[in-house]
Structure 1
Amino acid sequence: MADGPVTDAERDRVAELHAEGKSRAQIARELGRSPNTIGRIAAALGLSWDRTGTAEATRARQVDLAARRAELARLLLEDAFRIRGRFFTEYTEQRAVGSPDGVEVVTIVHSEPPAAELRNLVTSVAVVVDKHLALVKVDVDSTGKAAVDAWLADMLGGAAGSAAEQAGPPV
């Protein structure tokens, strides 16, 4: 990085490179200055960069991440149901039992899990449901609509809002 005060030649070069469509980072690399320095020079010259592409890319990324969170929330809810299904299923345990001939392994089948195992299963379901709800909550705006519902309502001029509200909160 260049040290010292910015020269008039550097200011002129920033203006030229900006006019060529170079980004702030590209100009900084070319001139050996920090991006912050280039930003200050550009601001002093009244220059700015078009950020519509960045804004559109950011919105697209937010939509992609919301879709991934929705899929993860769906999978977590499936996990909770799968774990809950184990509440009332047969539970097999094996115990080592001493006998005059040595140690023998005995298999015991219970009609449902013992209390300690059931408590662990209930705790697991509670944790998974909490995580599911936390993911769903991230994508609910201040009006209580999921982000996708708000987007759809906006696209349809508000017509979708009533159907989304009738359906209730996302789970």
Structure 2
Amino acid sequence: MKKLHAAGLSANAIAKKLGVSQSTVSRWAKQDGLRFDRTRTAEAVAAHTIDLAAARTRLAEKMAARAEQLLDSLDGEYLVYSFGGRDNTYSEHLLKKPPVEVVRNAVTTAGITFDKLTRIVEKDPDVSGAQSVVQSLEAGILAAAEALRQPETSADSE
């Protein structure tokens, strides 16, 4: 084992070559006062950590964009439709604004997204870009909540 270690093989490579477990190789190395270079392992872990952070950021951006689209869709007219009756007929009606339950669901969805994005921001300390995304999402949620607080009149529902 000492010759293999001196040749620069990893504990895993030595274990495979000798047909023993990696823990056995580690135990033998410890008894002989040998240490394995863990630089490549540390670099791989660091690279994987960076990849995961990048994936979280991409997901956060997608979540924020969808939540913003959802909130923006509340600003216009809202089409309601149905299929039904014996002949399975289609009917539709265009409302001046979305019904209260639609607004409530959109604001709730955006709130959940905001909560998730906040957790991502807390997990990745260097997220200066993500903070602006969260801040703009917060502004959208507050605006939608304000719209939800305004009483719906019967003329608005028609």
Q: With structure 1 as the length reference, what TM-score do the two structures score?
A: 0.67
- The correspondence of residues 64-143 of structure 1 with structure 2, limited to 5 A, is 64-96=51-83, 104-140=89-125
1:31 aligns with 2:18: yes
Report if aligned partners of 1:73, 1:132 keep a CA contact under 8 Å in 2: yes
| Bigger relative CO (Cα 8 Å, ≥ 6 apart) | 2
Aligned residues: 132
- Tell me the alpha carbon deviations over residues 55-98 of structure 1, each in whole angstroms, 9 at most, x when there is no partner: 22222222232222222222222222111012222211123576
Report if aligned partners of 1:73, 1:136 keep a CA contact under 8 Å in 2: no
Give unpaired runs (5+ residues) of structure 1: 1-13, 141-145, 149-163
- Tell me the alpha carbon deviations over residues 78-132 of structure 1, each in whole angstroms, 9 at most, x when there is no partner: 2221110122222111235769xx6643211111111222221111111111111
Counterpart in 1 of 2:9?
A: 22
Q: Distance in 1 between matches of 2:57 and 2:28?
A: 44
Report if aligned partners of 1:73, 1:133 keep a CA contact under 8 Å in 2: no
Q: Distance in 2 between matches of 1:67 and 1:104?
A: 49
Sort the Cα spacing of 1:103 and 1:31 in 2 relative to 1 into closer, same or farther, 3 A: closer
**Pairwise CA RMSD of aligned residues?**
2.5
Residue 75 of structure 2 aligns to a residue in which SS? coil
Residue 39 of structure 1 aligns to a residue in which SS? helix
Residue 68 of structure 2 aligns to a residue in which SS? helix
Q: With structure 2 as the length reference, what TM-score do the two structures score?
A: 0.72
Counterpart in 2 of 1:63?
A: 50
- Tell me the alpha carbon deviations over residues 140-163 of structure 1, each in whole angstroms, 9 at most, x when there is no partner: 2xxxxx2x6xxxxxxxxxxxxxxx
Give unpaired runs (5+ residues) of structure 2: 135-158
Shift of residue 48, structure 1, vs aligned partner: 0.8
Report if aligned partners of 1:79, 1:128 keep a CA contact under 8 Å in 2: no
Tell me the percent identity: 35
Residue 97 of structure 2 aligns to a residue in which SS? coil
Q: Distance in 1 between matches of 2:24 and 2:117?
A: 45
